Amino acid sequence: MRTKAGTIYLSVATVLLSVSISLAEIPIEKATADEWIENNKATLAKVKQRIWELAELSFEEYKSSKILSDLLAEHGFKIESGVADLPTAFVASYGSGRPIIGILAEYDALPGVSQKAVPRKEAREDAVNGHACGHCLFGTASSAAAIAARYAMEKHGLKGTIRLYGCPAEELGAGKIYMSKAGLFDDCDISFHWHPDGKTKVWAGSSKAIITAKFNFHGLSAHAAASPEEGKSALDAVELMNIGANFLREHLTEDARIHYVITNGGDAPNIVPPDAQVWYFVRADKHNDTLIIFERMLDMARGAALMTGTTVDWDIGSECPELLSNPVLSELIQKNLELVGAPTFTESEKRFAAETQKALTGPFEYSLCEVIEPLVENPAGLKGSTDVAAVSWIVPTSGLRTACFTYGAPLHSWQVTACGGMSIGEKGMITAARTLAYSTIEVFKRPEWIEKARISFEKQKEGRGFVSVLPEDYKVPKKNK
């Protein structure tokens, strides 16, 4: 039953979330996809675990991207490596002609969140980085979905093309931006994505737009005690800029965010720092609002340089608009998610998660979520940002989230890393793989979904747009620091 904006969509499947659906009750094409996923769970777990262990940072995912592209090549996909001038990006294709269905995959880790697969905070001895956003699960499930759908196409004569997009550097909000600028999504009919979460639900809302930039101040070194008057401190300029940014917070709209870290503050206290750098993220619900804030940040940088007798330049790292939702595709994914059902967990897994919750602020409804959230029309937008948004302005795009970690745990936390390295994350990963495969197959069987999604897509874009701050000749940054 569909009701007015702000209410929920209800279905029999939503009520019967705990009911396990047998293969005999689903369409034969989806059953074929299920069969491949079920028969290859052990292989998929090994792929995921290897990427979890590698924990490669943005733009450095050489081994992780190769693991996934090799898996896809093994199952008949044609691989284009190093696309969009990104060494760790790839496109894997199977089939020919239209429709062209894209599935997005990510595989980059985060710095400084190393964690063992144990229910207490304990870093791995062999790693500094960790998959605290679950992208080891993301890339594996998306690849599994593409392969499973590929075998259903072959067996049941479905026509069209599947593309698995290997997308690096989501944590820097960058990979899909440059893949989009290279035109890699221009001929896609539909794009699907997913993300690990503490809940299982369709990702039907928007996200925050973002601009990231590093501000580089240049001064003059001197002995900080013997001749301080000869120095021009780049660190002073950084700190003055930061003071301005912190005062600006009082005058931002409720949805806006500014975050920064000082990435270079000098080498020693007795040397006036000749060079210093601060890295900023600016976010808001609309890209045009990020532009307004960013212009203020540029004025602060120039003013800080003027006050300190230094000079300043800046490097824009990435830029993402807000995510465009697609209600039509959201309903399609919800239908298939309900057919698959939410992941279920053992008592041992629940005890593991409950132990990790002790470091969090409760109370909690569950230790691990085993229900599917109802689909809400016009839900609140995400407080974070994603470069999936860049794709969503080019092609109708929608996705889901599945329970892969402790209920109530924030993304980018050690709890997420721990659950991703064990069976808890794997169960959510399989749910995502099945749902994406089902949704892809349904579009091949019923291409009228494409036209409906396109109409919704054009409606979402009406009266909206964004002006990029990235120059046309902008080069992709390849460093994390």
Residue pair 198/408 in contact by the 8 Å Cβ criterion: yes
Strands 190-197 and 100-106: parallel
Per-residue pLDDT of the chain (481 residues; tens, 9 = 90+): 333 333 333 333 333 333 344 444 789 999 999 999 999 999 999 999 999 999 999 999 999 999 999 999 999 999 999 999 999 999 999 999 999 999 999 999 999 999 999 999 999 999 999 999 999 999 999 999 999 999 999 999 999 999 999 999 999 888 999 999 999 999 999 999 999 999 999 988 899 999 999 999 999 999 999 999 999 999 999 999 999 999 999 999 999 999 999 999 999 999 999 999 999 999 999 999 999 999 999 999 999 999 999 999 999 988 999 999 999 999 999 999 999 999 999 999 999 999 999 999 989 999 999 999 999 877 777 788 999 999 999 999 999 999 999 999 999 999 999 999 999 999 999 999 999 999 999 999 999 999 999 999 999 888 887 778 887 777 766 554 4
Strand partners, 161: 95, 100
Sequence-distant (6+) residues with CB within 8 A of 198 are 369, 403, 404, 405, 406, 407, 408, 409
Distances from the Cα of 114 to the Cα of 1, 57, 121, 128, 131, angstroms: 45, 12, 9, 5, 8
| Token representation of residue 315 | 């490097």
Global pTM reads: 0.88
Provide the residue count of the chain.
481
DSSP letter at 478? -
- 156-159 long-range contacts (CB < 8 A, ≥24 apart) are 156/28, 156/29, 156/32, 158/29, 158/441, 158/444, 158/445, 159/95, 159/97, 159/444
Q: How many CA atoms lie within 13 A of 348 on its CB side?
A: 4
Residues of the chain with CATH 3.30.70.360: 209-320
CA separation for the pair 157, 154 (Å, rounded): 6
Q: What is the pLDDT of residue 18?
A: 35
Determine which helix (DSSP H) or strand (DSSP E) holds 167, and give its type and residue range: strand 160-167
Contacts of 203 (CB under 8 A, 6+ apart): 193, 194, 195, 330, 398, 399, 400, 401
Paired residues of 93 in beta bridges: 78, 163
Instruction: Judge contact between 321 and 389, C-beta under 8 A.
Output: yes
Nearest-angstrom CA–CA distance, 228 and 140: 56
Bridge pairing between strands 100-106 and 160-167? parallel
Q: Which two tokens stand for residue 369?
A: 């979520």
All CATH 3.40.630.10 domain ranges of the chain, comma separated, are 8-207+322-461
Euclidean distance between CA atoms 154 and 75, whole angstroms: 12
How far, in Å, CA of 478 to CA of 63, rounded? 16
| CA gap 420, 341 in Å, rounded | 20
Helix (H, G, I), strand (E, B) or coil at 50: helix
- Which token pair is 425? 């994350």
Angle subtended by helix axes 28-39 and 423-445, to nearest 10: 150
For 70, phi then psi, to 5°, come to -65, -40
Asked: is 209-320 a CATH 3.90.1300.10 domain? The reply is: no
Q: Span 8-207+322-461: which CATH code?
A: 3.40.630.10
Q: How far apart are CA 370 and CA 347, in angstroms?
A: 12
